[in-house]
Amino acid sequence: MNELAMDHCADIGCHEVSLRRHGQRVLEMISCAFRPGELTAVVGPNGAGKSSLLQVLAGVLAASSGTVAINEKPLTEISAAERARLCAFLPQSEAPAWSVSGADLVALGLLPWGRLGDRDERVRAALARVEGADFASRPVTQLSGGELRRVQLARLLVGEAPLLIADEPTAALDVRHQLQLLQTLRGIADGGKTVILALHDLPLAARFCDRVVLLERGRLRAQGTPQDVFTPALIGEVYGVTCEFRWRAGEPEFVVFDLV
Ligand SMILES: Nc1ncnc2c1ncn2[C@@H]1O[C@H](COP(=O)(O)OP(=O)(O)OP(=O)(O)O)[C@@H](O)[C@H]1O
């Protein structure tokens, strides 16, 4: 058996989750489920609650009420060490605290599994997935924004947690690396992992994701397939734009016409 694969799959669900931050209600009675084999995009306007929801799912923030459970076990009953083996999380932004090499930063993603004989090989393979071999020996404080993000993504990908949660993973990437990342994450989901992403890029979400969770001002506005959720009426209303979504052989063409 693979040395890392202790938990093979992760069903994660939240039930009536609400969250208050500094007295402000930022999530209100959110219920949704994420299954192995699925790539889900959490979308919505700025401030809708995407990062907050991802942090609650990853156990970084505790819900004010409601429950989050992985494989039907409440997150509150899962130890931090066990959670780290179940869930790899990439926050929206994260400045490097000190100047380690790219390879050492990626290797942090293996910490939940202790010392591994093939650490270096795993780190090399993860960096290769983001075309980041050249960053292995570079101090991370000397990388560009997109290069650093790719190293952080390699850290997300290096372990074998069955659940991957990434907050705006494509935000700093050029178009080639956005496509490459979504293809990689699609393949990871097809391999049986549960993958949840906050995304602003609706065409990318439509093209690669199985499911979309649409948040609006802390509430769950819609969830379903991209074709269910990405309708001009709904997206237009939630984002305050006029837009057109056309579907051609399952591929979306999305055009924003104007502000409303
Ligand atoms: N640390 C914090 N303390 C208090 N309120 C916060 C904090 N972080 C976010 N908020 C508030 O919570 C709400 C949801 O923020 P969140 O970051 O989850 O939204 P988001 O959908 O990820 O937005 P964006 O697309 O801009 O990243 C917003 O009203 C925001 O102002």
Task: Tell me how crowded residue 113 is: count the other CB atoms within 10 A of its CB.
Answer: 18
The rounded Å distance from CA 20 to ligand 1 centre is 11
Nearest CA to ligand 1 atom 3: 21
42 contacts 54 by C-beta, under 8 angstroms:
yes
Mutate to test the pocket of ligand 1, among 51, 60, 213, 214 (most ligand atoms within 8 A of CB): 51
pLDDT grade, residue 5 (50/70/90)?
Answer: very low
- % of the chain exceeding 70 in pLDDT: 97
- For residue 226, give the nearest of 51, 40, 57 by alpha carbon: 40
For domain 12-96+160-226, is the CATH number 3.40.50.720? Answer: no
The model's pLDDT over 51-83, given as tens digits with 9 standing for 90+, comes to 999 999 999 999 999 999 999 999 999 999 999
ipTM over 0.95: yes
- 3-state SS assignment for residue 82: helix
Query: Which helix (H) or strand (E) segment is 67 a member of?
Result: strand 65-70
Nearest CA to ligand 1 atom 31: 47
pLDDT at res. 7 = 59
The rounded Å distance from CA 252 to ligand 1 centre is 29
Mean pLDDT of 31-55: 98
The model's pLDDT over 131-164, given as tens digits with 9 standing for 90+, comes to 999 999 999 999 999 999 999 999 999 998 999 9
The rounded Å distance from CA 259 to ligand 1 centre is 23
The rounded Å distance from CA 223 to ligand 1 centre is 20
Alpha-carbon distance of 33 to 14, in angstroms, equals 6
Q: Which residues' Cβ are closer than 6 Å to ligand 1? A: 21-22, 24, 26, 44, 46-52
The model's pLDDT over 167-187, given as tens digits with 9 standing for 90+, comes to 999 999 999 999 999 999 999
- % of the chain exceeding 90 in pLDDT: 86
Nearest CA to ligand 1 atom 5: 21
Nearest CA to ligand 1 atom 30: 47
Nearest CA to ligand 1 atom 26: 46
Cβ density class 193-207: b for 16+ within 10 Å, e for less: bbbbbbbebbbbbbb
Half-sphere exposure of 60 (CA within 13 A, CB side): 15
The rounded Å distance from CA 192 to ligand 1 centre is 31
Nearest CA to ligand 1 atom 28: 47
The rounded Å distance from CA 199 to ligand 1 centre is 14
* Amino acid letter, 208: F
234 contacts 45 by C-beta, under 8 angstroms:
no
Parallel/antiparallel/unpaired status of strands 39-43 and 211-216:
parallel
Cα torsion through 210, 48, 17, 31, rounded to 10: -30
DSSP 174-214: -HHHHHHHHHHHHHHHHTT-EEEEE-S-HHHHHHH-SEEEE
Spans of all domains in the chain: 12-96+160-226, 230-260
pTM given for the model: 0.95
Closest atom of ligand 1 to CA, residue 49: 18
Cα torsion through 203, 195, 185, 192, rounded to 10: -130
